[in-house]
Amino acid sequence: MTKDVKLELIGRVPLFAGCTKQDIEWIGRLADEVDVAAGHVLLREGSTAQEFFIVVDGALRVERHGSVINRLGPGDFAGEIALVDGGPRTATVIADVPTRLLVIGHREFHSLLDKHPSVELEVLHALARRVRASEPEAVF
């Protein structure tokens, strides 16, 4: 994947949609590109968070307590919740087909948030949207 394609993909991820070009370039330097086989478990519900994933190509299945709750495709992301709050993973994520991902590790993710407050704000907004979407009746 060329640098320009990588940066374009990162810029389309909802989590980073409001970021500046400079922020996107910083994220691009932190992200590694990996390929995983169908059936590969990326995240296991209840485990400790080590990384955050952005889907480049392929498809992921999200399960909670053994039931499918979502499917993710190119431009979607997974793994941010446990990285932000330090808690256990909230779901299991499995590659449905051979999948290409961008991966940002725990240390890099927190470095990104520390050095780029605008990215941190986008992460908080994305988390709020996910909470509202998954718990529409919740009153806070």
Per residue in 119-132, pLDDT (tens digit) is: 888 778 877 777 77
The domains of the chain are located at 3-131
Q: What pTM was estimated for this model as a whole?
A: 0.80
pLDDT for position 82: 80
Residues contacting 25, CB < 8 A, separation 6+: 7
Which pLDDT band holds residue 60 (cuts at 50, 70, 90)? very high
Instruction: Find tokens 């988390």 and name the residue.
Output: 127
**Domain 3-131 sits in which CATH superfamily?**
Jelly Rolls (2.60.120.10)
3-state secondary structure of 62: strand
Which pLDDT band holds residue 46 (cuts at 50, 70, 90)? very high
pLDDT at 103 over 90: yes
Q: Which of 41-45, 87-91, 94-98 has the lowest mean pLDDT?
A: 87-91
